Structure 1
Amino acid sequence: MQNKRSVAFGHFPRIRIQDGEHLLWNPLKKQAFRQRPEERVRLQLLEYLILQSSIPTSRIATETAVPSRYSRGRTDILCHDPDFQPWLLIECKADNVKIGPKTALQSAHYNRHISAPYIMMSNGIQDLLFDMSPKPVALEPSGYPPEIKPGFPFTSMEPSYWTGRGFLPENMDSDAASALSALLCHLFHQSGESRSYLTLNAPHESKVYTHFYLLTNAPGSPDSLLAFTVMAAGPGDAVIVAAGNRRKKITGILTIAIDQSGTFHSPELIMAENDNIITPDISPVEQICLEPSSARAGKPAENIIPKLARALEELLLHGK
């Protein structure tokens, strides 16, 4: 049975920044990889297994070799039972690839020489899990094996978590890092809003902003979406990037630099209709983002997202 939301939802791959490039980091292989959609999904699922399942990392492997004539020759993720026999085979697809019976059959074919009793297919958005013995049976999330059964959503307000995943830089002022970590936890962990890995190109700049973005509806514009993220931009520095989209067309892009002390500066708002660069009033956004973590604790994400969305809507859809 297809799970409405992947167990990987709310998990993000670890990042290593080398020469300004955000590389994917496999914590089991202790190796960096260039960004590829399938690799991101694999590492998101790996994060779920490490942080939320009861399977020890000693029984989780990536890229296990299998006879290549049946597939590309290596598994994505293979979990073993306590006797170190194959137990769960996970095959990953890019997040824009739909998963269904055909892809599940491919994995079953792939499992001939693995003989794992469970197979999971995932694109990081939705999952398909099958009990393979004696015949393949699709499982509802409520029927997942206890080792991987979805439980409470994972949350973290620790700056080290968000630093390790490319949202925040190292060496940022502790108060600013704590405030931004609490914000990110509310947006990306505690809310049910969609998120997507996007690339935004800022006009008049050579910079490209590629990262995971929160997607939310614009409160006063039913036909519009807002995208928002915080990403590390260098030692101690970060940047807020947000964009408006109306009827599948970008209306504006906002960037706000954040220095090591947590000071917001150099805001630029570029409206698509005229490509003019505006220096906007970002005080409403800054106030929301830097609210102390102690003040944010206990507040539901549902209260914070509308406030942020309204502030971004004024800028990105109306150019104010």
Structure 2
Amino acid sequence: MQPLNFPGYTFRFKNRQNKELIFDIVRKKFMVLTPEEWVRQHVVHYLHVDKQYPLSLINVEKQIILNGLKKRYDIVVFNSDGSIHILVECKAPHIRITQETFDQIARYNFNLNATHLMVTNGLAHYSCQMLFDEEKYRFLKEIPEFSR
């Protein structure tokens, strides 16, 4: 897999039925190593190792219902009260991050009400803080670190 714009992390890999797998430390199982999964695992490690979010507050690839349609979010980081602190949308490195990508995460956030959003293809990362009272968002250099 191609190098991404994240610090170096140590991953566990294995092969099964001619497919390369990567271990997901949140789901605690091996997942098929697709380009998007490669990005997703880097984000999980970034949030846990560099930003100090406990694994118990990180959730990966869960189904949600939006306007009666089944969708999946990539990564959510919860606050200790169960509200959503960060919503992350991961794309494969060859996918450009566009306004459409941001619109996708914004639609998800109508239901989830995360205070921070992150969109990444592993090469480019965009983060913002939601300003609900003002009905807008403010771009940030990076996602904030965990604080109790």
TM range (shorter): 0.7 to 0.9
Which residue number corresponds to residue 83 of structure 1? 81
Give 1:146's aligned amino acid. Answer: E
Q: Does 1:17 align with 2:18?
A: no
Give 2:31's aligned amino acid. Answer: F
SS in 2 for 1:74: strand
Specify which structure has the bigger relative contact order, considering alpha-carbon pairs within 8 angstroms and separated by 6 or more residues: 2
Which residue number corresponds to residue 136 of structure 1? 137
- TM-score, normalised to structure 2, is 0.82
Structure 1 residue 31: deviation in Å? 1.9
Which residue number corresponds to residue 112 of structure 1? 110
Structure 1, unmatched stretches of 5+, are 149-320
Structure 1 residue 54: deviation in Å? 1.7
CA distance in 2, matches of 1:70, 1:108: 17
CA distance in 1, matches of 2:51, 2:14: 24
Query: Which of 49, 52, 60 is matched with 1:51 structurally?
Result: 49
Structure 1 residue 100: deviation in Å? 3.1
Identity among equivalent positions (%) equals: 27
Which residue number corresponds to residue 187 of structure 1? none
Structure 1 residue 69: deviation in Å? 4.6
Structure 1 residue 140: deviation in Å? 2.1
Structure 1 residue 77: deviation in Å? 0.5
What does residue range 95-244 of structure 1 map to in structure 2 within 5 Å? 95-134=93-132, 135-141=136-142, 144-147=143-146
CA distance in 2, matches of 1:101, 1:90: 15
Q: 1:70 to 1:137 in 2, by over 3 A?
A: farther
Query: Which of 17, 28, 31 is matched with 2:29 structurally?
Result: 31
- TM-score, normalised to structure 1, is 0.40
Contact 1:12/1:43 (<8 A) preserved: no
Structure 2, unmatched stretches of 5+, are none
Structure 1 residue 34: deviation in Å? 1.8
Q: 1:13 to 1:73 in 2, by over 3 A?
A: farther
CA distance in 2, matches of 1:114, 1:80: 11
Contact 1:38/1:94 (<8 A) preserved: yes
Which residue number corresponds to residue 311 of structure 1? none
SS in 2 for 1:29: coil
Which residue number corresponds to residue 73 of structure 1? 71
RMSD of aligned C-alpha atoms? 2.4
Q: 1:100 to 1:10 in 2, by over 3 A?
A: farther
Q: 1:122 to 1:72 in 2, by over 3 A?
A: farther
Q: 1:27 to 1:138 in 2, by over 3 A?
A: same
SS in 1 for 2:38: helix
CA deviation digits over 1:43-71, x for unaligned, max 9? Answer: 11111122222211110011222115587
Q: 1:132 to 1:85 in 2, by over 3 A?
A: same
Contact 1:70/1:109 (<8 A) preserved: no
CA deviation digits over 1:87-107, x for unaligned, max 9? Answer: 000000000011133311221
Contact 1:14/1:25 (<8 A) preserved: yes
Contact 1:9/1:125 (<8 A) preserved: no
Q: How many pairs align?
A: 141
